[in-house]
């Protein structure tokens, strides 16, 4: 795709503008940090936080979903932006604590939390633990009792895997991987409300990923608040927090419309006005957990063309990095926008296959990207990879070096995670003396 097309579909802000990444020369970045590398525009992340915050009415809070991008510098910048954090592992707990987050602004989600992870969360003073089952509820209660703590919790509601958020669709009587059916959750709520070591705050549900329909997103919030009100009433407690999860989407393909933030804000404001008329809901807080919305457009993966083959009309470009570093296009079968980072504007656009260096047919980023005919040495960027980029990939496959990660703030680029070589990884392995 052309650079102009990349800019026009970048939503609020894409990292690529006028041939530069976060305002810097791609060639200079490649010279300093070597390819392949990830680059993140921290200023852009801050602008996206403010854009979302500006449309939210009273009583809404933002918690960054750390799984989207757990790079320490990115997480620490979001802490400085004043958001909370949504974590899903003990490792992410350590990350947010090191990044300076107030534990009271951290929520721990995810199925299969170990006792060690639950203990670490309680000891750290994590503000919310999302409880996924009655078994987890009892394990957490026992841990909190042993530690002499009272742990605030939300109960996670199960929704069907094909939910599209027109309503929250319950799984019914079948337990799924995530959360509890409503009947089970209501029983768990009564149990939690009776415990002296648990503090039941409300409910949580996550409906679907990467939605750009403001009406559906707001509808999910409305439905979940109503369910939370019913559950709290059954348990005899006040509904203090409803966690509506993430799901705020970004446009990946050319021509896709971004989420209408203004409409989303209007719908949430209408809901807030309605809740304010109810004594049971007037003081309730709604927590949103965006990940990719905040960081996705602010990141790019940059690799260099090492070989070009095939006819001029349909070339195949082989890069020095592939799905070992950026697996999302293959994993979800959705191509990311590509851009050849060149100042040579006279090259004709041709249908190009862009692939990585791995010995697998899966290692293909696109089979029909319209790009300036590639040349060996060109830099190619996969855009919108500030979320679910390196963190979701498979860097051990075929023992290639790991990419560097670079952050840009106020026009200054800094290395935030260096390349890791196969030699360094081998040095951590052992061939036992049998």
d(CA 287, CA 240): 11
SS (H, E, C) 96-113: HHHCCCCHHHEEECCCCC
The SS3 call for residue 32 is helix
Give the helix/strand (H/E) hosting 264: helix 261-276
User: What does DSSP assign to residue 259?
Assistant: P
What the block records as the tokens of 185 is 């959750």
d(CA 221, CA 207): 10
* Residue 356: partners with Cβ closer than 8 Å, 6 or more residues away: 303, 318, 319, 321, 322, 323, 324, 325, 363, 364, 365
Give the active site residues.
Answer: 359
| CB burial string 405-427: b at 16+ within 10 A, e below | bbbbbeeebeebbebeeeeeeee
Output phi, psi for 189, to 5 deg.
-65, -45
Q: Which residue has the tokens 């656009």?
A: 349
* Residue 304: partners with Cβ closer than 8 Å, 6 or more residues away: 30, 35, 36, 319, 320, 377, 378, 379, 380
CA pseudo-torsion sign 98, 99, 100, 103: negative
Contact criterion met (CB below 8 Å) for 379 and 341: yes
d(CA 169, CA 43): 38
d(CA 202, CA 357): 49
d(CA 204, CA 150): 19
Radius of gyration of the chain from Cα atoms?
A: 23
Nearest to 41 by CA among 2, 73, 80: 73
């Amino acid at each position: 795709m052309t650079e102009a097309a990349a800019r026009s579909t970048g939503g609020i802000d894409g990292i690529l503008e006028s041939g530069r990444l976060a305002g810097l020369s791609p060639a200079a970045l490649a010279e300093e940090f070597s390819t392949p590398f990830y680059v993140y525009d921290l200023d852009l992340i801050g602008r996206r936080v403010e854009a979302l915050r500006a449309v939210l009415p009273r009583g809404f809070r933002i918690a960054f979903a750390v799984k989207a991008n757990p790079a320490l510098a990115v997480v620490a910048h979001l802490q400085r932006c004043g958001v909370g954090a949504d974590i899903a592992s003990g490792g992410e707990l350590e990350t947010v604590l090191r990044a300076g987050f107030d534990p009271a602004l951290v929520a721990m989600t995810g199925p299969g939390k170990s006792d060690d992870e639950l203990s670490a969360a309680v000891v750290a003073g994590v503000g919310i633990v999302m409880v996924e089952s009655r078994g987890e509820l009892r394990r957490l209660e026992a841990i909190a009792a042993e530690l002499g703590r009272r742990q605030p919790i939300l109960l996670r509601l199960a929704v069907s895997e094909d939910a599209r958020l027109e309503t929250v669709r319950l799984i019914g009587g079948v337990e799924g991987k995530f959360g509890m059916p409503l009947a089970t959750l209501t029983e768990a709520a009564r149990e939690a409300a009776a415990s002296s070591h648990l503090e039941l705050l409300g409910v949580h549900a996550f409906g679907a990923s990467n939605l750009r329909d403001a009406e559906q997103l707001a509808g999910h919030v409305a439905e979940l608040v109503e369910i939370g009100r019913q559950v709290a009433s059954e348990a005899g407690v006040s509904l203090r927090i409803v966690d509506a999860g993430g799901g705020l989407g970004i446009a990946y393909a050319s021509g896709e419309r971004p989420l209408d933030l203004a409409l989303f804000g209007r719908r949430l404001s209408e809901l807030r006005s309605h809740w304010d008329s109810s004594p049971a809901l007037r003081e309730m807080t709604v927590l949103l957990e965006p990940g990719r919305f905040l960081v996705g457009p602010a990141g790019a993966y940059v690799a260099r063309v090492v070989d070009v083959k095939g006819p001029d009309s349909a070339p195949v470009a082989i890069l020095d990095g592939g799905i070992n570093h950026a697996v999302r296009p293959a994993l979800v079968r959705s191509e990311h926008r590509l851009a050849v980072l060149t100042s040579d504007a006279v090259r004709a656009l041709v249908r190009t296959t862009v692939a990585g260096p791995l010995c697998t047919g899966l290692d293909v980023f696109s089979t029909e990207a319209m790009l300036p005919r590639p040349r060996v040495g060109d830099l190619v960027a996969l855009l919108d990879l500030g979320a679910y980029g390196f963190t979701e990939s498979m860097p051990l496959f075929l023992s290639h070096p790991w990419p560097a990660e670079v952050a840009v703030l106020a026009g200054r680029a800094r290395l935030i995670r260096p390349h890791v070589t196969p030699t360094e990884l081998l040095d951590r392995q052992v061939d036992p003396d049998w």
